Amino acid sequence: MSLDVRLVKTDGIILRRSDCGEADRILVVFTQNRGKIRDLAKGARKLGSKKVGHLEPFASSRLMLAEKTSDFWMISQAETTNPRGDMRTSLVRIAYASLVSEIADRITTEDGPNPNLYALLEETMDNIESDPNPEMALLVFVVRALKASGFDPQLKNCVKCGAEIHPDDHFFSPAGGGVACKSCGVHDQYARAIKMETLKYLRHIQRTPFSRLKNITVPLQLAVSIEGHLFAFLENLFEGHLRSVSFLKDVRGY
């Protein structure tokens, strides 16, 4: 590598990768200092490459990058700091991590630092690997990632008329940006009915640290309801389906 190329050192989490040519890999990495970046790892698939094993999906790695000059950063060196190997022993945990990675990828733009989202992503991947309840880790991640990216849904006041939302069944409007009161929700053809208990849990997740949520057991039917509203919100935001949702539903059976 030319001596006049500026090198950048950063920690990052591998969101996804694809093969390129005979021996290279293209990676999407969410980094601590640079946000989401696309990298080219030349020769990473060669058996003798020092990068082999250090650029695995969902792992955290310390990267030495050649400063971006075209579409990609070039990975000069890579060292795994947290392989999260136990995660790969469970297909269900892989499915949760895949969905979290897809959301992190799609909710961000390239080269936009977001240290709060990076810290959240690190914490979430650790929780998915080790906690007996990865479902809660996913729900917390979605709610907090939306907030860290400036897209958090409005849950306290009606998104249509601004009225305070009182404890009761209401509507959830993905296109409107959050909860709609009964009077307004009935006129929104895309609004979804939301039960009082579901809204209560969503609000609780939005304001409570994960350390106090991780031991809470959410009834299956309620968890699925919360997921449904959050996934609908994300898909409206992304203007397309979340591909990893089908994979998650297939492997866990609901």
Domain ranges for the chain: 7-83, 86-252
Please name the residues in contact with 241: beta carbons below 8 A apart, sequence gap of 6 or more: 235
Domain 7-83: CATH superfamily, name plus number: Nucleic acid-binding proteins (2.40.50.140)
* Cα 119 from Cα 102, distance rounded (Å): 16
Is the CB of residue 143 less than 8 Å from the CB of residue 205?
Answer: yes
Is the CB of residue 74 less than 8 Å from the CB of residue 82?
Answer: no
* Cα 215 from Cα 94, distance rounded (Å): 21
Q: How many CA atoms lie within 13 A of 198 on its CB side?
A: 20
Percent residues over pLDDT 70 in the chain: 98
**Sign of torsion over alpha carbons 215, 217, 222, 223:** positive
> Region 111-125: what's the mean pLDDT?
94
> Region 106-127: what's the mean pLDDT?
94
pLDDT-derived band of residue 222, with 50, 70 and 90 as boundaries? very high
pLDDT-derived band of residue 2, with 50, 70 and 90 as boundaries? very low
* pLDDT for position 51: 87
**CATH of range 86-252; options 3.40.50.300, 3.90.79.10, 1.10.3720.10, 1.20.1440.120:** 1.20.1440.120
Please name the residues in contact with 77: beta carbons below 8 A apart, sequence gap of 6 or more: 50, 51, 63, 64
* Cα 122 from Cα 97, distance rounded (Å): 11
* Cα 51 from Cα 26, distance rounded (Å): 13
For the stretch 4-57, pLDDT in tens is 568 899 999 999 999 998 899 999 999 999 999 999 998 888 877 888 889 999
> Region 220-238: what's the mean pLDDT?
96
More confident residue, 67 or 238: 238
| Res 1 pLDDT > 50 | no
* pLDDT for position 50: 83
* Cα 72 from Cα 70, distance rounded (Å): 6
Evaluate whether 7-83 and 86-252 have a shared fold. Answer: no
Strand 170-173, strand 73-82: pairing = unpaired
* 170-173: strand order across its sheet: 178-180, 170-173, 192-194
Is the CB of residue 137 less than 8 Å from the CB of residue 124?
Answer: yes
Identify which of 165, 135, 149, 120 has the alpha carbon closest to the alpha carbon of residue 238: 149
What are the beta bridge partners of residue 29? 14, 37
